[in-house]
């Protein structure tokens, strides 16, 4: 418990350090830049699936309300 408390205090002290904050920000920015193509592809795919699901629901609703269908 004492070691855990010590580690947490050291981490919080480091997090308050402006130089550490700047380096963490740079690392986060690089990670986002590397992940961006994959995120865009996943977002595009999610949009396609959402549109297809909406179209299917719309077709079913039209089929139910259409007296000839």
* pLDDT confidence band for 67 (50 / 70 / 90): low
pTM of the predicted model as reported, rounded to 2 decimal places:
0.49
20, 26 in Cβ contact below 8 A?
Answer: no
The structural domain count of the chain equals 1
**Alpha carbon of 53 to those of 25, 58, 63: distances in Å?**
39, 9, 15
pLDDT tens, 20-63?
899 999 999 999 999 999 999 999 999 999 999 999 999 888 88
By residue range, what is the domain housing residue 44?
2-65
Q: Is 22 left (phi over 0), alpha (psi -120 to 50) or beta?
A: alpha
Provide DSSP, 49-64.
HHHHHHHHHHHHHHHH
């Amino acid at each position: 418990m004492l070691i855990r408390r010590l580690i947490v205090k050291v981490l919080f002290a480091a997090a308050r350090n402006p130089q550490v904050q700047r380096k963490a920000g740079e690392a986060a920015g690089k990670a986002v830049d590397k992940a961006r193509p994959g995120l865009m592809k996943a977002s595009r795919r999610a949009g396609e699936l959402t549109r297809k699901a909406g179209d299917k629901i719309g077709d079913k609703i039209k089929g139910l309300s259409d007296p000839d269908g």
